[in-house]
Structure 1
Amino acid sequence: MGKSSKDKRDLYYRKAKEEGWRARSAFKLLQLNDQFQLFDGVRRVVDLCAAPGSWSQVLSRELYEKQQDTATPAKIVAVDLQPMSPINGVTTLQADITHPKTLQRILDEFGGEPADFVCSDGAPDVTGLHDLDEYIQAQLILCALQLTTCMLRAGGTFVAKIFRGRDIDLLYSQLRFLFDRVICAKPRSSRGTSLEAFIVCIGYKPRPGWQPTLELSKSTEEFFEGSGIGRATTLEHLELPEEERCVAKFVACGDLSSYDSDATYTLDENYQRISLDPVQSPTAPPYKKALELKRRGEMVRK
């Protein structure tokens, strides 16, 4: 949840630790929900690229715990390649979001019913080369979108992290074929110096005559072939016809009275400087393997 001094000066970093969130990104989903009411009428949720689990915590508190007394409480499935510590009311799957078996495992958890809401806060390890980072992030979004189109109900909502760049409107235009509304949102808890924002896609509308099917042998381009959301053939020449490009509405999320992630605040006089316990125990600490080797007497200093 941030190791640099910049992160520790951030008020959202401290508030996340005080309130028990695993990462400051929890505030981003909370502010997105305040703006768009994402959780209204939601019963089945999938959190993709979920580790360390801050968004799953928000879903657990805002959906599962509040619906626990109802006949059908919300079902939440979190998916990530990395291990995650357990969260109340959340089923954790350590799996690849591009694998067909992952889709089947999620649908099994929902009893074969489609999801109401799919979200993804995943991002690659940034290189600092903005064009490359934007491309990799766009590919990650398309991978999440593949899984989403296979399990999201008509009228459902999809939210994912994006890196804004000069060609981001091409992604907007593709998403507009699949959703009624596509909005680019920037929560106040997201630093203004960061390229990140969140694409909020509301009102899923399956493409007529197109049946999305996950297959390991299919690339992302081949998956969307036949959906009519963009060009899926190799061009034999470089003369490209003009296409209608979409510019998504940009919305700043979070009340103006909420904290600014780029600002510095003076501590209250009654503020107690106390050391806070870790929010979660390490899921796969690097020293775990070393301890196992030591117990077996196999650790030898070279």
Structure 2
Amino acid sequence: MGKSSKDKRDLYYRKAKEEGWRARSAFKLLQLNEQFQLFKGVRRVVDLCAAPGSWSQVLSREIYQKAKLEDTKLESYIEPKLVAVDLQPMSPIEGVTTIQADITHPRTMNKILSVFGGEKADFVCSDGAPDVTGLHDLDEYIQAQLILSALQLTCCILKEGGTFVAKIFRGRDIDLMYSQLGFLFEKVVCAKPRSSRGTSLESFIVCIGYKPRLGWKPTLELDKSTEEFFQNSGIGRAQLNKNDLSFPLEERIIAPFIACGDLSSYDSDATYTLDKNLERLSLDPVQMPTAPPYKTALEMKRRGNMQLAVRKK
């Protein structure tokens, strides 16, 4: 989070900096956990599309650091193992193993399972999203493809009964996503944390109780599309051909919508006036960008090559 921002009067933005979170999105996961108790009994966690790491910070504090206070001599004690995956580099976080890799690549799955000693994850989450265009239908489609990519990996590494949480863009075609997830999980809920702006399409799909499809063994292959990956899973896609245009009757699955967060907490759509009697404190970024998109331009400017590049254009 930068030092100057149009959101500087957003209380969640300021509270994130004051409390040491790398982004205000940390409050979204905290409020989801308050509602669904996502971290109860969880010891192996995967955070997909993790950079800059605010969700990994929450997982570290709520799972890893709290586990350090437990008695490690108890037979029931299991050491927490947290893995964060992203294509972008990420600064270290206590108790979190960072993997800089593509979530669709089979080697990424193998790396995650090796960290877990061959065991499967209890909880997989993803706060990833594409760069939005402002065209809602297009943004919703691209986000759905990102969720399906995360779901591919999740089906391979999540244990039976595990939980999957991902960011979604709620639009007119989101029912299809609810239906597909409903075949793979016992309970599917659409949740809107109070720290998520009401003006945004953003919500979070909370999928509880993973139930692998009978007779289907998910395998992550480099050249296989998401459609091919789920082809034999029977998650509701109608198989049609030129001679048979009839649709099989399928039960429609509608995910309930839940608002998360205390009603007395801050409103993410409101801007709050700073107390004029208090001295204004400019807060430094919690974590400087590790690979900002403007890094190359800064290096060129430092070497004096920026003017040369402009002339060539």
Range class of TM-score, shorter chain: over 0.9
After superposition, where does 1:138-157 map in structure 2 within 5 Å? 138-157=144-163
> SS at 1:98's partner residue?
coil
Does the CA contact (< 8 Å) of 2:192 and 2:204 recur in 1?
Answer: yes
> Quick check: 1:180 aligned with 2:186?
yes
1: CA distance, partners of 2:304 / 2:287: 30
Q: Give the stretch that moved more between structures: 239-248 or 276-285.
A: 239-248
2: CA distance, partners of 1:301 / 1:115: 51
2: CA distance, partners of 1:171 / 1:204: 15
- Cα distance 1:210–1:271, how it changes in 2: closer, same or farther (>3 A)? farther
Partner of 2:311: none
Offset at 1:278? Answer: 1.9
> Quick check: 1:24 aligned with 2:31?
no
Match for residue 254 of structure 1 among 256, 261, 272? 261
1: CA distance, partners of 2:6 / 2:245: 46
Partner of 1:282: 289
Q: Give the stretch that moved more between structures: 238-247 or 177-186.
A: 238-247
> SS at 2:181's partner residue?
helix
CA deviations over 1:108-166 (Å, ceiling 9, x no partner): 00000000000000000011111111011011000000000001011100000000011
Partner of 1:56: 56
CA RMSD of aligned residues (A): 2.3
Does the CA contact (< 8 Å) of 1:222 and 1:232 recur in 2?
Answer: no
Does the CA contact (< 8 Å) of 2:160 and 2:210 recur in 1?
Answer: yes
Offset at 1:263? Answer: 1.7
Does the CA contact (< 8 Å) of 2:83 and 2:97 recur in 1?
Answer: yes
Partner of 1:161: 167
2: CA distance, partners of 1:206 / 1:166: 28
Offset at 1:276? Answer: 1.6
1: CA distance, partners of 2:294 / 2:186: 49
Does the CA contact (< 8 Å) of 1:221 and 1:232 recur in 2?
Answer: no
2: CA distance, partners of 1:287 / 1:6: 20
Offset at 1:6? Answer: 3.7
Residue identity matched to 2:162: G
Offset at 1:243? Answer: 3.8
Partner of 1:76: 82
Partner of 1:47: 47
Does the CA contact (< 8 Å) of 2:13 and 2:24 recur in 1?
Answer: yes
Q: Which runs of 5+ in 2 are unaligned?
A: 73-77, 309-313
CA deviations over 1:184-229 (Å, ceiling 9, x no partner): 0000000000000000000011111110000012110110111110
Does the CA contact (< 8 Å) of 1:170 and 1:245 recur in 2?
Answer: no
2: CA distance, partners of 1:132 / 1:292: 34
Does the CA contact (< 8 Å) of 1:115 and 1:153 recur in 2?
Answer: yes
- Cα distance 1:243–1:109, how it changes in 2: closer, same or farther (>3 A)? same
- Cα distance 1:264–1:214, how it changes in 2: closer, same or farther (>3 A)? same
Partner of 1:205: 211
After superposition, where does 1:103-142 map in structure 2 within 5 Å? 103-142=109-148
CA deviations over 1:66-104 (Å, ceiling 9, x no partner): 112443331110000011111111111000000000000
> Higher RCO, 1 or 2 (CA under 8 Å, sep at least 6)?
2
> Quick check: 1:273 aligned with 2:280?
yes
Residue identity matched to 1:42: V
Q: Which runs of 5+ in 1 are unaligned?
A: none
2: CA distance, partners of 1:76 / 1:181: 24
Does the CA contact (< 8 Å) of 1:185 and 1:200 recur in 2?
Answer: yes
TM-score, normalisation: structure 2: 0.89
- Cα distance 1:5–1:294, how it changes in 2: closer, same or farther (>3 A)? closer
- Cα distance 1:132–1:235, how it changes in 2: closer, same or farther (>3 A)? farther
Offset at 1:266? Answer: 3.7
Q: Give the stretch that moved more between structures: 133-142 or 63-72.
A: 63-72
